[in-house]
Structure 1
C-alpha cells in the first residue's frame, strides 16, 4: 500500500496550519496596534497614501515583479502599517488575490500573498526581499497539486514612453 496519499494529506494539513498561524499573527499584530491612541483629527491627513506608515523595507518591495521561471507577474501596489498590502497577480490574465499581508517573522520581513481563483484555490506565496540583488524569493504553495516550489521574482523594469 502506497503512503503517497497519506503524505499528501499531511502536507495539506501542514500548509493549512501554516496559513492559520500567519493569519493569527496578523490579527494579533492588529490588536496590538489598536491599543495605540488615535491621532488628533486636526493633524490627520484627509487621504493618506496607500503605503503610509509601512516601514521603508516594505516600501522597497512595492512594484511589479516577474517570476523568473515564466510569465507570472506580481504587483505590490501599496502597504500600510497594519500589515495590509494591495496586490495583483497575473498569469498572464488577472488571478484573484484574496489576501496579501506583510509581516516580520522568523525569516525576517515577508510578504504573504494568497490567491483564490480557478486553478489557484488557496495557493500562497511567502516571499522575502533580497535588497542587495533587488529580488523577491521564497516559496509558492499550490495545495490543489499538493506541491510547494522555491520561487524567485525579479523587478520588472518600466517600459520607456514612446
Structure 2
C-alpha cells in the first residue's frame, strides 16, 4: 500500500471534524425568527387614531416593509398627507406625517408608538401659526 494516500486520508479525517466544529457564520432560522419577533411590527400601527386634544383623526390603512404608510388625516374634513412614513429606532416605532394643504403648509406630526398604552404620542408642529403642541392619539376601538 502506498503511504502517501493513506496519510492524506488520515489527515482529512482529522481535519474535517475539527472544521465541522466551527460556529456557523449565518444565523439559524430560529435566531432569525427571534430577532424579527423582537423588532416592532409596523402592522401594529394599522387603524383609526383619534387625537385626544381636538378629535383630529389619522387613519392608517396599510404600511409597506419600508415604512411607507397609506394614511389619511381628517380635521374633521379629509386632508391629504404629503409624507406619511414609519421607521424603527431600536425597538421603538416612529411616525412622521407632513401636511401641505391650505393652512397647514409644511406642518408635521412627529409621533412615537407607545405599545404599553396603544397610543401615538408626540408633537404637532403647526408651522403656519408657528406653534408646537404636545399631542396624543388613541386607537379608536369602535
User: TM-score, normalising length from structure 1?
Assistant: 0.60
Bigger share in strand: 2
SS at match of 2:41: helix
How many angstroms apart in 2 are the aligned matches of 1:138 and 1:57?
19
Deviation for aligned residue 1:147: 1.5
Higher Rg: 2
Runs in 1 of length 4+ with deviation above 6 angstroms? none
Deviation for aligned residue 1:142: 0.8
How many angstroms apart in 1 are the aligned matches of 2:104 and 2:138?
22
Q: After superposition, give the CA deviation of every residue in 1:103-129 in whole Å (9 maximum; x if it has no partner).
A: 124893201111110111111111111
How many angstroms apart in 2 are the aligned matches of 1:100 and 1:153?
16
Structure 2 unpaired stretches of 5+: 1-38
How many angstroms apart in 1 are the aligned matches of 2:57 and 2:127?
20
Instruction: State the partner residue of 1:113.
Output: 97
How many angstroms apart in 2 are the aligned matches of 1:86 and 1:74?
11
How many angstroms apart in 1 are the aligned matches of 2:95 and 2:45?
9
Asked if structure 1 preserves the Cα contact closer than 8 Å seen for 2:86 and 2:95, the reply is yes
Matched, 1:93 2:77: yes
Does the C-alpha gap of structure 1 residues 97 and 157 become closer, same or farther in structure 2, counting only changes over 3 Å?
same
Q: After superposition, give the CA deviation of every residue in 1:69-104 in whole Å (9 maximum; x if it has no partner).
A: 112000011111122111100010001211101112
Structure 1 unpaired stretches of 5+: 1-54
Matched, 1:148 2:132: yes
Instruction: State the partner residue of 2:106.
Output: 122
